[in-house]
Amino acid sequence: MAGGTRRDEQVKATREALLAAAERLFAEHGVYAIANRQISEAAGQGNNTAVSYHFGTKVDLVRALVRRHAEPMEALRARMLADIGDSDELRDWVDCAVRPVTGHLEELGCPSWYARFIAQVSADPALYAITEEEYYGTSPSLRKLEDGLTRCVPGLPEAVRAERALMTRHLIVQMSVERERALADNTPTARPTWHDAATGLVDAIVALWQAPVMSGP
C-alpha cells in the first residue's frame, strides 16, 4: 500500500510539473509552437514521451489545463451567485462574471500564466471550442449568470445580448492579460491590486451593457 501511495504521489507530481511547464510555454509562445519534447524538458522529465503518456494528444493537454482552472473559478462563482440570490442589480451579475477570474489570478500569485494561456487558446477556433465546452458546457453557475444578466437588460435584442456577452469575455481576458504581464515584468499598473483592477473592469462592462443600441447604418 505504501509503495502504491508513493507511486500515486510521483505520478501526481509529474502531471503537475508537466501542466505548469506547458501552461508557461503555451502562454509565452503559443500552443502549436511548442513540442511535447520541450514541455518534458521544461518540466525536468528525461522521457520525451511524458506528455503523451500522461495526457494523450496536445488537445487533451489543453483540455486538462483549462479544466485545472475552470474548477476553482466555478467554485468562486457559485459562492458569489449564492450571495446575490435573485438580485436585479446589473453590477452584481457583472461582478460574478469578472471577480472569479481576477480572484483566481490573485490566488495563483506572481508570476502566473493562466490569462496569457487562455488568450493564446482563444485565438485558435478549434482550441477555443475546448474552452467553451469546459467552461460553459458543464457549468451551472455560468448558465445562472447568463440568465441573471439577461433579466437585467430585458430591452436588449437577443443578437445584441450575445454580442455584448462576447465583448465581456474578451475584455475580461485581455485586461487580465495586460495586468498579468505587467506584474510578471514588474511594470507599474494603474490599479494596485487585482480587486481594484476588477472594480475598474466591472465599471467598464456595466457601461457596456447599459450602452444604447443604435439602429441604421
Residue whose C-alpha is closest to residue 104's, from 125, 83, 118 = 118
pLDDT at residue 216, as a whole number:
55
pLDDT recorded at residue 176: 97
CB of 194 within 8 A of CB of 102? yes
What span, in angstroms and rounded, lies between the C-alpha atoms of 181 and 116? 8
Q: What is the CATH number of domain 61-210?
A: 1.10.357.10
- Can you tell me the distance from the alpha carbon of 28 to that of 23, in angstroms, rounded to the nearest whole number? 9
Phi/psi for 17 (5° steps) reads: -65, -40
CB atoms within 10 A of CB 207: 10
Tell me if the domain spanning 1-56 has CATH number 1.10.10: yes
pTM (2 d.p.): 0.91
Handedness of CA 94, 95, 98, 100 (dihedral sign): negative
pLDDT band per the 50, 70, 90 thresholds, residue 136: confident
Per-residue pLDDT, averaged over 90-97, amounts to 98
Q: How far is CA 17 from the centre of its chain?
A: 19
- Domain positions in the chain are 1-56, 61-210
CA torsion, ordered 138, 140, 141, 146, to nearest 10 deg: 90
Residues in the chain, total: 217
pLDDT at residue 212 tops 60? yes
Render pLDDT for 150-194 as a digit per residue (tens, 0 to 9).
Answer: 999 999 999 999 999 999 999 999 999 999 999 999 999 989 999
pLDDT given at position 3: 55
